[in-house]
């Protein structure tokens, strides 16, 4: 990890790979930093989640890219022509925040979360991620306020379209399930 350095010259600093693994565990558990640090055997102050998160953010544009050349793979897998990617949101559990914004972060299932929108290609690689909305936000709201929507409406991806679930609006660049199919093709 070129963007992460061992910052401590005393004793033995935490290697960049271990810093990354600690951060990923913190993300996965959605628990207190002290719990993750204790599990790994370092102090809370040594667990540099903030620094690693910044390093990951620097790499975003290198690895999370819209690749319109993957459209044929969706056709190979499911007979869907011209599909740019599959879009959906998922709730990532977070710690209980302070009470001033807490209820905004509470999702419909009753726990605190961020609602993360992602687009994946046919190889399950992330092509687009929006990770700034509270758990109370609806999937369609996140999409309607995203740069991706503006790109789709501007025709950036040509005649390609996104596969979505019924939480999203059916648009010329987005296909959602047919609620009451009446023919075999539907």
User: Which DSSP state fits 14?
Assistant: P
Residues 153 and 116 in one domain: yes
Is 152 a member of any domain? yes
Instruction: Pick the more confident residue, 93 or 86.
Output: 86
For the cut 80, the answer to whether the pLDDT of residue 14 exceeds it is no
d(CA 186, CA 174): 16
Model confidence band, residue 118 (pLDDT cutoffs 50, 70, 90): very high
Q: Coil, strand or helix: which one is 86?
A: strand
d(CA 37, CA 178): 48
Residues 144 and 161 in one domain: yes
Is 180 a member of any domain? no
Q: What tens digit of pLDDT does each residue of 48-60 get?
A: 777 877 887 888 7
Residues 107 and 162 in one domain: yes
d(CA 38, CA 48): 13
Instruction: Pick the more confident residue, 8 or 174.
Output: 174
d(CA 53, CA 110): 27
Average pLDDT, the chain: 81
Q: Which two tokens stand for residue 14?
A: 């935490």
120 neighbors 127 (Cβ within 8 angstroms) = yes
Is 1 a member of any domain? no
Q: Which two tokens stand for residue 149?
A: 């929507």
Question: What are the backbone angles phi and psi of residue 143, rounded to the nearest 5°?
Answer: -65, -45
State residue 36's pLDDT score. 54
d(CA 78, CA 85): 12
Q: Which two tokens stand for residue 168?
A: 């999203």
Q: What tens digit of pLDDT does each residue of 158-171 get?
A: 999 999 999 999 99
Instruction: Pick the more confident residue, 178 or 143.
Output: 143
Residues 107 and 43 in one domain: no
């Amino acid at each position: 990890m070129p963007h992460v350095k061992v910052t401590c010259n005393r004793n033995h600093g935490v290697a960049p790979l271990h810093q990354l693994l600690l951060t990923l565990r913190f993300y996965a558990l959605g628990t207190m930093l002290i719990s993750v640090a204790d599990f790994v055997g370092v102090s809370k102050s040594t667990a540099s989640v903030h620094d690693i998160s910044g390093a990951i953010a620097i790499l975003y544009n290198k690895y999370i890219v819209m690749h319109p050349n993957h459209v044929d793979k969706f056709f190979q897998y499911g007979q869907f022509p011209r599909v740019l990617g599959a879009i959906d949101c998922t709730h990532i559990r977070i710690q209980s925040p302070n009470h001033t914004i807490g209820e905004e972060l509470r999702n419909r299932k009753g726990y605190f979360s961020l609602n993360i929108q992602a687009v994946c290609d046919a190889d399950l690689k992330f092509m687009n991620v929006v990770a700034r909305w509270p758990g109370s936000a609806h999937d369609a709201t996140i999409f309607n306020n995203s740069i991706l929507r503006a790109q789709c409406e501007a025709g950036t991806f040509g005649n390609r379209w996104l596969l979505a679930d019924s939480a999203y609006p059916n648009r010329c660049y987005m296909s959602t399930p047919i609620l009451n199919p009446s023919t075999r093709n539907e």
